[in-house]
Amino acid sequence: MKAIIPVAGAGTKLRPFTFTQPKPLIPVAGKPIIAFILDQMIQSGVTEFIFVIGYLGDKIKIYLDEHYPHIHKEYVVQGERMGLGHAIYTCQFLIQDSEEVLIQLGDTILDLDFKVFMNSRKNTLAVRKVSDPRAFGVVELDDQGLVKRLVEKPQIPKSNLAIVGLYKICDFSQLIKALQYNIDHNFKTRGEFHLTDGLMRMLEWGNHFEVMEVKNWFDCGKKDILLETNATMLERQTQNPVHHNAEHSIIIEPCHIGKKCQIKHSIIGPYVTLGDDTQIDNAIIKNAIIGNFTILDNVVIQNSIIGNDAIIKGRYQSFNIGDNTEIDMV
For residue range 175-193, list pLDDT tens digits in order. 999 999 999 999 998 888 9
pLDDT the model gives residue 200: 93
Domains present along the chain, CATH in parentheses = 2-232 (3.90.550.10), 240-328 (2.160.10.10)
pLDDT exceeds 80 at position 326? no
CA pair distance 172, 47, nearest whole angstrom? 17
Averaged pLDDT for residues 300-320: 83
CA pair distance 229, 23, nearest whole angstrom? 14
CA pair distance 75, 106, nearest whole angstrom? 14
Band (pLDDT 50/70/90 cuts) for residue 233 is: very high
pLDDT exceeds 70 at position 174? yes
pLDDT the model gives residue 152: 87
pLDDT the model gives residue 114: 92
Band (pLDDT 50/70/90 cuts) for residue 104 is: very high
What sign for the dihedral angle of Cα 12, 17, 20, 22? Answer: negative
Band (pLDDT 50/70/90 cuts) for residue 319 is: low
Averaged pLDDT for residues 253-273: 93
Q: Give the length of the chain.
A: 330
pLDDT exceeds 70 at position 242? no
Averaged pLDDT for residues 194-212: 94
Q: What percent of the chain has pLDDT over 90?
A: 65
